Structure 1
Amino acid sequence: MIFKKLEDRYNVAILVFGIICIIILLRLMSIMIVRGEEYRIQAENSIFKTIPTSAPRFEIKDRYGRLLAGNRPSFAVHIMKNEIIDEKINEVALNVISILEKNGDRFIDDFPIVMSEKGDYVFTFDVKIQEWKDTYNIQEEYTAIEAFDILRKRYGIRLDLTMEDIVNNSELAIEVQQQLIAIPELSIPISRLTWKFTEQMRKEQWLQNYRITDLDIDAYEAFQIARNKTFKIPADYSDAEARKVMVVRDQLRRSGYLQYRPVKIAQDISEESVTQIEENIIKLPGVNIEIEPVRYYPEGKLGAHVLGNLGKISDQKEIDRYVRELGYLPTDIIGKTGVEQRFEEELKGTDGYRKVIVDSRGRLVNLIENVDAIPGGTLYLTLDANLQRVAEQTLEDVLKTIQVGGTYQTQWGTNRLQGTSGPMVNATSGSVVVTDVKTGEVLALANYPAYDPNLFATGISLEDWNKLIPENQRDPLAPRPLTNIALSTAIQPGSIYKMIVGLAGLEQGLSPEYKILDRGFIQVGGHSFGNWLWNQRRETMGYQGIHQAIADSNNYYFYSVANGYDYGVGRPLPIRMNMDILVEYSRKFGLNDMTGIEIDTPRERNPGIPNIQKKTEVVRGMLRSHLTAHLKQSDLDKEKIEVSDEVRLGIIKEIVSWTDENPARGEINRRLVNLGVKEDRANIFTDIIKYSYFAQARWSTADTMNFAIGQGEHAYTSLQMVNYMATLANGGNRYNLSLVRKVQKFEDKSVTVFEPILAEKIELKNPKNLDEINYGMHLTTTTGTAQTYFRNLPVKVAGKTGTAQRSGKIPPTDEVEYLKRHMGSFGVRLSDVEDLTLQLMIENRDNVKYQDRGNAMREAIKILNPKVNNNTLDQFKKDYDNYAWFTGFAPYDDPQIAISVLIFQGGSGGFASPIFREIVAEYMGLNSTSKEEFGLENRLVR
């Protein structure tokens, strides 16, 4: 019956129609009932949009609540894209920029095509790459891979690898890159994933965004494409006017379809600009003035290297972390260094928002809700702003006095600060660190020169940035305002290391009363190790025990203790002593460990205690570099072997493998000839290999001599030195250093206190041995090397002078110009030198030595005049002066603070003493009769 009805077409149509209705009904039920809530949310989200507003940055205060970093209101210019009609956008953009320029206000200019000083158009990406190459003396034509390889070889990193090895092995690439990044003065803007300059990658991305497929396009051509095709700017606008328009439109373009979001054009503008924009608001549709918080540092440079600086989210790592993971706006300012960077995430605060209704084209329809941002709270540092101020000012004053060889005078002493050879004109940088010996809290951390972090609050200008860059980039000791010397500079400690040698000797059983006769110098092989008094005046110090040896900084005494041998009488000391023991005690005082301070210190990741085994590896690398540069194919005998670069590298690898064996001279010569080196060349290379490298590869008595007085391979930061002093002062308790005391949240007023962390309690055989060492340091300031600096100070202190050798010549700003200026003294013609220089650079493109024009020119001069050597070429350069250290603690009989002072090229450790003295006077309240002004405790009573 049913089937018969289906034979009727009318019935079939009714059935199909009924089924369709049922399906539609079921679908409606699903949409409205089953998934109604889900679709409702989606519908609302397509209408309601949220515009985030950044929270004010957290405040930073010192330990007593003095403001170091806060926020102040500022005027910012915003443009609402949806409020400007297309026909007016060019006119509005040009008018706004003109007003800002007229009043000297900076605007956000990220458009990457600018006019150079020569008047041509260039990509800012290319300019930054070239500036980086110029900074590190890398030729313009070198690629990112070649530049990376040059720096790797220049700094002696993994010389056993080829660049091909590194590129093809991501783990090796990471290892080498991390070692390069750890070098304080070095930046590596090269991606190890693409092996391109990061600026090159940004350039390619920008071109693709503008649909420009030719990645090698000329900057002016790209400018015209953006002007005429992308923005369609009328021809009656000049290129200069068009670029101003493009600066604004480029910012608007980046917002895409999010027309409801305001785009910031300028920040922290003047009242004049605000007034003029408001007066012309009818002519400037879509332009709004908003009040926004701006970071403010009321004390200027005070504590700059601790506080750190700000900057835009820029590199890919920051974009991934802050924008994609944490929801920051791409235009947000973040902490780049210091505590601003370290506590960025924890104390950023809660962003506010405005909830708006937009149409399908993203245009603002209505404001629904406005929720204010909540500040993050307050970060209380361990710093004492007053002590910090005294540390910074005293450091600057003493440096300037040393530079002119003048007299430094305060109520606590009068001292002439002039070296034996005159003023120390290059004493232009230094650092001071002060800590609480009972907690590890950093009370002051000063570096000179410093900078004003206010410059970075809204983005630093190119003019201001250039003022912070050293004039002589080639000089590693040139003043660098942005460098945190206390954290990033690791050097030899000089005589301030001697207390560890003395303590190790006492712990091994040496009596404090055991006296060693100073005979002036000790002969080890062909080298003479003299006491400083012998070296200066050919005088000796007679018999001395540990106390006098520390006070007078007697090298002879510590040479003897370190080697377990009494050189004064020619017999062993009554104790067992070796390098393993000295290294063990160095480790006890944290000289191979991170200090624990919150700010990142890449230099501390590379242990500073000399590694006996590592010395051989270093020598291997140096030998490999020397042979690679000097053993050429022409040195090989074609009649014995097939000559090729591959064979040459194989021979070098074989020679380097003999380092541990250290064969006799005759055996080395025989092997070189058998390998295929020409006999006459083998004789030359034999002596170099044997005596300049193999003989230096193993740890020797001479190495121990240098180790004993803090010279040689030691390398420690000011932080490590001050913590070492604090550990001596407090009975052997080594605390982690800390800059943060507590954090108070704004919203719930909750407080998180950072308690002191005891890193290690040093186990000593006889704890009283520390008292013996400390007494010697006290004598340093009363009868020893620093007595003249502390005669008027009414507080007993313990201290130690240290002078660390800095060998070498100060490189000129431009090596090529230096050589040209003195060419007449080298007995060669400039035209001949320039021709040969170019030839050498072309023929030795793969040799890192010849990739620097200055180095190539030096080699050319030596080839043209064999009588000339490196000493001849450098004779007109000035010598580096020695580093000056002064470290210790105060008061001597009740230690409260430890202090470390370091001066670059200060010449003598004593010259750092006045800084130590003035800080002690301030801390002990000697500079004022009352501290009621700030409600501070009397520091004489703890």
Structure 2
Amino acid sequence: MKKEVQVNLFSDIKEIIMNILKSRLFVLLVVFAVMFSVLVQRLFSLQIIQGEEYLENFTLKIIKERTIASTRGNIYDRNGELLAYSELAYSVKIEDNGSYRTTKEKNQAINGTIYELIKIIESNGDSLTSDLKILIDESGNYVYSVEGSKLLRFIADVYGEKLVDDLSEEQKNVSAENLIAYLRSDKRYDLSDEYAAVDALKILNIRYSMSANSFKKYVATTVAADVSDSTVAVVMENLDKLQGVSIAEDSVRKYVDSLYFSSIIGYTGKVDTEEDLKELQKKDEDYVLTDVVGQIGIEKELETELQGAKGYEKVYVDNVGRVIETLESKEPEAGNDVYLTIDKNLQASVYKILEQKLAGILVSKIRNMKTYTPSENSSSSDIVIPIDDVYFALINNSIIDINAFSTDKASSTEKAVYQKFLSKQSSVLTQLNWELSSNKPAAYESLDEEMQVYMSYAVSLLSNSGVLLTSKIDTSDDTYKAWKNETISLKEYLTHAISMNWIDTSKIDIESQYSDTNEIYGKLITYITDSLSKDSAFGKKLYKYMIKGNSLSGREICLMLFDQGVLEYNESEISGLNSGATGAYNFMLDKISNLKITPAQLALDPCSGSCVVTDTDTGEVLAMVSYPSYDNNRITESKYYAQLVFDLSKPMLNRATQQNTAPGSTFKMVSAIAGVQEGVISLNETVQCKGLYDKIEPVAKCWIYPSAHGNLNISGAIQHSCNYYFYEVGNRLSLSPNGTFDEKQGLESLKKYAEMFGLGEKSGVELPETEPQISSNDPVRSAIGQGTNNFTTVQLSKYVTAVANSGTVFNLSLLDKVTDSKGTLIKDYTPEVSKTVELPGAVWDAVHFGMRGVVEESAAFEGVQINVAGKTGTAQESKKRANHALFVGYAPYESPEISMSVRIANGYTSANAAAVASDVVKYYFNLADEGEVISGTASQPGADHAGD
């Protein structure tokens, strides 16, 4: 029985087990058990066996597409001499790739990182790149570095508007200071007040550049390019503290002998605005805001040729941006190479010739005197330069930095000068305050010259700062008229301005809108004196009168040139100045004569010039010089760029293509040909010069008056530049068939022939150029190059080239050819013939013979062993400044190879321009040793050449 029970129990257990094994639940449990075992094994393998490898190499995997910039093409001269190229260098970059909980936290973190980065870069002697169109002037004020449409486009980009028209009137007229305030606010970059103005501008510059990349989180912004190894080392050491910062190998543009070519080649930089980007994308849709493109010059005009085609690569990157794997890529295509028609050596030599001549003119005109006052009978050629003006010029053009006087590193001389300045400043501000507060203030006309200068500057300061609302001033108001007529005091004028609501009280710390006139005026005085005490431009005026008053000596000025590194340290020269053995006047003349202090630094008249040399057979420009110039290798340095913007010599103005003045007597060949071809005068006919031309009112004078030239034919009139002869031509061109004077007829005749020689259109060179202007009034005076005739140097070159080759008018060109990076020709540039002037040979002979006569009488060409023809000219712009000096000509006379046009702004006499042309001929035709032509010292000015 017991055994039977056991059997049954076993059977029951067996049946239960079998039922379990057959159940779906058991199967599911087994499956789960197997899966769990596999999972445990896999987890063990990932975490224990392979854990370290996966942690290092596969923390996070992101697909990222990176653009690979192409290599920009090179620029060469006509002989294959390298002028511009790209080279690899290290750049410091920053990306917005952090994670932040709030916008405020993000701004604080990025601003702090940028500030630390700036300190590292600048402490190692490197410079930041600059894209923000705002600078800080010498007085510490924010100012715009662009104007007009470029400024409006910049403002629109800051406010995030697609169109300028979308800006409000307030936004369009926003001051640089208020725009900075907007950028510093929490609406944009939330930059706290703890950052000083200078540092804030640097940070905002980088933040603004980063915002252009905001649509692509992983696109880096360049903070500094071409940095030193020391900067690279320090940045790399601190990468763990500098979120988003990296060191990248980048392409940096380099320019050879940049000073001589920057006016032609220009420079590159990031795309300025959305508007500029759209224009570029019309040519190539691959352009983006972060691209480096040509900004001006040939770099801009041939941007699409030089740029090349971008490449790309798709990669896997880890969570810290390291590339793990490349999925696909395309190599970039290098840009094309551009060859110019310019001869590198000729260009550099002409630049040096111009500088030497400018220095020579200055040296000849500087006098050891404090002031120059012209007499009633003096002319612009009599103007001289007092030495005190030279001393002040060094301060006025910031060659001597007055802000350095108050620093800890200031020399003993600088500290002594600064103490004298503080005393002067206190005295002047006290006197100003007394005049503005007096119950019986003196009328402006009763003040001495110095105080008038200070009063006038105070009014300008109020206007420029927006305190004095010039747009609201009623110019018909009697008090305003009295102020303009100098018959009332500044106090009376400002008090009246307050009563007329011409003063913006919100800017002068008025607490109540119900303040009375006296309270407002008191605040206005405080505003004026406080502002003037901080204003660098006003400070310069104080230094000017310190020099005039002998409290700041020429010796101290000279010593500070050594202190600030303008002149290389020279113990014997410093000792001589200190002991009195060397006088400041002679010292200064010596430094100008040896070009240790250049005309550009002084920015006195004359400090600029231009010269264009053209191949008469082809219309190719061999040299196109604008003096002074700048170093386009440094153009991205914000501090250097600010210096250029505020430089009084305006080095960024291309004077060959953008400065136009009256042509003076260089225009007389046009008038001569017009007279002959219109039949109002014949080749053999003579006109008797009487000195005084009384057929018009007011009476016109020949330059030789009270003498006279007597009888002259067309060649003689050109040779002697007889104004009387050409007055008569202009008059005859204006006589209608019935003998009445028709101004329009005369002007149309002159215009017809000026246009025949290309003076009615731009020259053709591939750079922006000021429009020419053919005279629109007074045909008699227009015939001698006056009236409203205005042309650039390169336009005169187009004209004289046509005269030289007897009628072929070229559209001048700076471009020779374009090749690919392997040298294969892509495009050959040949200057186009714009038109041809068909004249009888006898007419050409008469004109050429007259031009040859001009040169034969010019002392500038004495001893030149080649025959040259030309025409001198002077053009008066202001009786208070020296005349512009001009020369156009060609050589050799018998078979012209080159033509030249020279202009020295405020160069006194055309003989100085002729002297430049003479040296150019000597250099080009190897008529003298190079050291004789380019001595590196001031060359003597040309002997006065009458007749212009």
TM-score under structure 2 length normalisation: 0.58
Q: CA deviation at 1:804?
A: 1.4
The equivalent position to 1:755 in structure 2, one of 830, 833, 837, is 830
Kept in 2: contact 1:609–1:714 (CA 8 A):
yes
| CA gap 1:95/1:897 in 2 versus in 1, 3 angstroms | same
- SS at 1:760 equivalent: strand
Partner of 2:314: 355
Structure 2 residue runs without a partner (length 5+) = 1-60, 367-378, 386-603, 932-948
Q: CA deviation at 1:780?
A: 0.7
Q: CA deviation at 1:268?
A: 1.7
| CA gap 1:311/1:926 in 2 versus in 1, 3 angstroms | same
CA distance, structure 2, for counterparts of residue 550 and residue 884 of structure 1: 17
Partner of 2:802: 727
Partner of 2:849: 775
Q: CA deviation at 1:596?
A: 1.7
Kept in 2: contact 1:402–1:423 (CA 8 A):
no
- SS at 1:368 equivalent: strand
Partner of 1:336: 295
TM-score under structure 1 length normalisation: 0.59
Deviations 1:628-687 (CA, angstroms, capped at 9, x unpaired)? xxxxxxxxxxxxxxxxxxxxxxxxxxxxxxxxxxxxxxxxxxxxxxxxxxxxxxxxxxxx
Q: CA deviation at 1:716?
A: 1.5
Deviations 1:756-785 (CA, angstroms, capped at 9, x unpaired)? 311111122x133111100110011113xx
Q: How does 1:21-100 map to 2 (within 5 A)?
A: 49-79=64-94, 82=97, 95-100=116-121
Partner of 1:447: 626
CA distance, structure 1, for counterparts of residue 704 and residue 780 of structure 2: 17
Q: How does 1:628-707 map to 2 (within 5 A)?
A: 703-707=778-782
Letter in 2 for 1:513: N
Q: CA deviation at 1:578?
A: 4.7
- SS at 2:260 equivalent: coil
Kept in 1: contact 2:157–2:274 (CA 8 A):
no
CA distance, structure 2, for counterparts of residue 261 and residue 706 of structure 1: 62
Partner of 2:676: 506
CA distance, structure 1, for counterparts of residue 801 and residue 629 of structure 2: 26
Kept in 1: contact 2:616–2:804 (CA 8 A):
yes
Q: CA deviation at 1:67?
A: 1.2
Partner of 2:347: 388
Deviations 1:187-224 (CA, angstroms, capped at 9, x unpaired)? 41478xxxxx445433433999xxxx999999769746
Kept in 1: contact 2:383–2:881 (CA 8 A):
no
Letter in 2 for 1:103: N
CA distance, structure 2, for counterparts of residue 238 and residue 586 of structure 1: 57
- SS at 1:768 equivalent: helix
Kept in 1: contact 2:628–2:650 (CA 8 A):
yes
Larger radius of gyration: 2
Kept in 1: contact 2:129–2:638 (CA 8 A):
no
Q: CA deviation at 1:908?
A: 1.6
Partner of 2:249: 291
- SS at 2:293 equivalent: strand
Partner of 2:713: 545
Q: How does 1:173-188 map to 2 (within 5 A)?
A: 187-188=147-148
Partner of 1:320: 278
The equivalent position to 1:201 in structure 2, one of 156, 159, 166, is 156
Letter in 2 for 1:799: G
Letter in 2 for 1:269: V
Q: CA deviation at 1:346?
A: 2.2
- SS at 1:781 equivalent: helix
Q: CA deviation at 1:365?
A: 6.1
Q: CA deviation at 1:733?
A: 0.8
- SS at 1:306 equivalent: helix
Letter in 1 for 2:610: S
Give the aligned length.
617
Letter in 2 for 1:96: L
Structure 1 residue runs without a partner (length 5+) = 1-45, 133-186, 192-196, 408-417, 472-478, 616-702, 809-878, 931-942
CA distance, structure 2, for counterparts of residue 724 and residue 207 of structure 1: 44
Partner of 1:490: 660
CA distance, structure 1, for counterparts of residue 358 and residue 610 of structure 2: 11
Letter in 2 for 1:201: A
Partner of 1:225: 186
Letter in 2 for 1:202: D
The equivalent position to 1:435 in structure 2, one of 614, 618, 623, is 614
Task: Indicate whether 1:919 and 2:920 are aligned.
Answer: yes
Letter in 1 for 2:717: A
Q: How does 1:804-823 map to 2 (within 5 A)?
A: 804-807=875-878
Stretch moving more, 47-56 or 344-353: 47-56
Task: Indicate whether 1:274 and 2:232 are aligned.
Answer: yes
- SS at 1:75 equivalent: strand
- SS at 1:505 equivalent: helix
Partner of 1:587: 755
Q: CA deviation at 1:353?
A: 2.2
CA distance, structure 1, for counterparts of residue 243 and residue 183 of structure 2: 30
Partner of 1:426: 605
Kept in 2: contact 1:82–1:363 (CA 8 A):
no
Partner of 2:818: 743
Task: Indicate whether 1:469 and 2:469 are aligned.
Answer: no
Q: CA deviation at 1:419?
A: 7.9
- SS at 2:889 equivalent: strand
- SS at 1:553 equivalent: coil
Kept in 2: contact 1:349–1:376 (CA 8 A):
yes
Q: CA deviation at 1:239?
A: 12
| CA gap 1:207/1:319 in 2 versus in 1, 3 angstroms | closer
Letter in 2 for 1:381: L
| CA gap 1:563/1:270 in 2 versus in 1, 3 angstroms | same
CA distance, structure 1, for counterparts of residue 829 and residue 304 of structure 2: 17
The equivalent position to 2:266 in structure 1, one of 305, 308, 321, is 308
| CA gap 1:67/1:560 in 2 versus in 1, 3 angstroms | same
- SS at 2:870 equivalent: strand
Partner of 2:870: 799
- SS at 1:532 equivalent: coil
CA distance, structure 2, for counterparts of residue 190 and residue 260 of structure 1: 29
Q: CA deviation at 1:85?
A: 9.0
CA distance, structure 2, for counterparts of residue 358 and residue 247 of structure 1: 29
Q: CA deviation at 1:466?
A: 3.0
CA distance, structure 1, for counterparts of residue 830 and residue 130 of structure 2: 45
Partner of 2:503: none
CA distance, structure 2, for counterparts of residue 104 and residue 354 of structure 1: 34
Q: CA deviation at 1:51?
A: 1.2
CA distance, structure 2, for counterparts of residue 266 and residue 307 of structure 1: 23
Q: How does 1:155-194 map to 2 (within 5 A)?
A: 187-189=147-149
Q: CA deviation at 1:440?
A: 0.7
Deviations 1:801-830 (CA, angstroms, capped at 9, x unpaired)? 11112135xxxxxxxxxxxxxxxxxxxxxx
Deviations 1:369-412 (CA, angstroms, capped at 9, x unpaired)? 454433212111000111111211111111121123279xxxxx
Kept in 2: contact 1:377–1:743 (CA 8 A):
yes
Higher RCO (Cα < 8 Å, 6 or more apart): 1
Kept in 2: contact 1:440–1:738 (CA 8 A):
yes
CA distance, structure 1, for counterparts of residue 760 and residue 198 of structure 2: 57
CA distance, structure 2, for counterparts of residue 392 and residue 74 of structure 1: 31
Kept in 1: contact 2:129–2:637 (CA 8 A):
no
- SS at 1:485 equivalent: coil
Kept in 2: contact 1:440–1:735 (CA 8 A):
yes
The equivalent position to 1:709 in structure 2, one of 781, 784, 797, is 784
CA distance, structure 2, for counterparts of residue 505 and residue 218 of structure 1: 59
CA distance, structure 2, for counterparts of residue 258 and residue 293 of structure 1: 21
Q: CA deviation at 1:544?
A: 1.6
Kept in 2: contact 1:82–1:364 (CA 8 A):
no
| CA gap 1:259/1:541 in 2 versus in 1, 3 angstroms | closer
Partner of 1:663: none
- SS at 1:347 equivalent: helix
CA distance, structure 2, for counterparts of residue 507 and residue 68 of structure 1: 46
Kept in 1: contact 2:380–2:882 (CA 8 A):
no
Q: How large is the RMSD of aligned CA atoms in angstroms?
A: 4.2
Kept in 1: contact 2:130–2:637 (CA 8 A):
no
Deviations 1:521-568 (CA, angstroms, capped at 9, x unpaired)? 11135422111011xxx211222222221111111112223323999x
- SS at 1:405 equivalent: helix
Percent identity between the aligned chains? 30
Kept in 2: contact 1:76–1:289 (CA 8 A):
yes
Kept in 2: contact 1:259–1:362 (CA 8 A):
no
